[in-house]
Amino acid sequence: MNNVIEMSHPLIKHKISLLRDKNTGTNEFRKLIEEIGILMGYEALRDLPLEDVEVETPIETCMTPMISGKKLAIVPILRAGLGMVNGILALVPSAKVGHIGLYRDEETHEPHEYYCKLPDPIDQRLIVVLDPMLATGGSAIAAIDFIKAHGGKSIKFMSIIAAPEGVERLAKAHPDVQIYCGNIDRQLNKDAYICPGLGDAGDRIFGTI
């Protein structure tokens, strides 16, 4: 699967281990999700195009590179994706933010949509979809289907922890989407939770356990 990149940075791996710990409380969990968002965003945005622009320094005028091309839109999948938004905004404060609300049915594990609002027009933007968990892949696939149906063309997907089953399904469903994973874990369990995972990301971010 050449559209999948698993992060190798030691800071990302270290912070993911802290996230996994069941004794990590809500406050620290939230901070870690945001920090990992920054670190993963830094990696995922390394191919942003640059163009030389003229800048006057106190010494002289020079041509110096600045980000050009497509503007960014961040699209968190509600709820848990919200935790990563400030991390990406710390890197690109001018990014627009869309939202896609999906929850998984506890029995079938199928995603259900309850809210969607995207920046308009979306077709000229680079879109980064955020969700800390990629489990069966159903939510990510549904979110990206929706974005494409609204004209989105250039899409990246970022998850902090992924299951191999979900990565494979998403990579096949959307081969044009670059997928960034903080860690690819062992497998899903019978309830479609990631093992070893970190439990329910939304509940741990918002303290609703």
Residues annotated within the binding site are: 79, 104, 131-139, 194, 199-201
Indicate which of ligand URA, ligand PRP, none lies near residue 111 (CB less than 5 to 8 Å, by partner kind): ligand PRP
The reply to whether 105 belongs to the active site is: no
3-state secondary structure labels for all residues of the chain? CCCEEECCCHHHHHHHHHHHCCCCCHHHHHHHHHHHHHHHHHHHCCCCCEEEEEEECCCCEEEEEEECCCCEEEEEEECCCHHHHHHHHHHCCCCEECEEEEEECCCCCCEEEEEEECCCCCCCCEEEEECCEECCCHHHHHHHHHHHHCCCCEEEEEEEEECHHHHHHHHHHCCCCEEEEEEECCEECCCCCEECCCCCHHHHHHCCC
Tell me which stretch binds ligand PRP (CB under 6 A): 20-28, 37-45, 49-57, 126-134: 126-134
Strand pairing report for 194-195 and 187-188: antiparallel
Indicate which of ligand URA, ligand PRP, none lies near residue 34 (CB less than 5 to 8 Å, by partner kind): none
Total count of residues recorded for the chain:
209
User: Which listed residue (108, 120, 145, 208) is catalytic?
Assistant: 108
What does the per-residue mask of binding to ligand PRP show for 152-191, with x meaning CB under 6 A?
--------------x-------------------------
The reply to whether 203 belongs to the active site is: yes
CB 199 within 8 A of CB 169: no
Q: Which two tokens stand for residue 78?
A: 């509600």
The reply to whether 125 belongs to the active site is: no
What does the per-residue mask of binding to ligand PRP show for 55-94, with x meaning CB under 6 A?
----------------------xxxx--------------
Indicate which of ligand PRP, ligand URA, none lies near residue 171 (CB less than 5 to 8 Å, by partner kind): none
Q: Least distance (Å) from ligand URA to the CB of residue 185?
A: 9
Q: Least distance (Å) from ligand URA to the CB of residue 199?
A: 6
Q: Least distance (Å) from ligand PRP to the CB of residue 180?
A: 15
Binding-site ranges for ligand PRP (CB under 6 A): 77-80, 102-104, 109, 111, 131, 133-140, 166, 192, 200-202
Catalytic residues: 104, 108, 200, 203
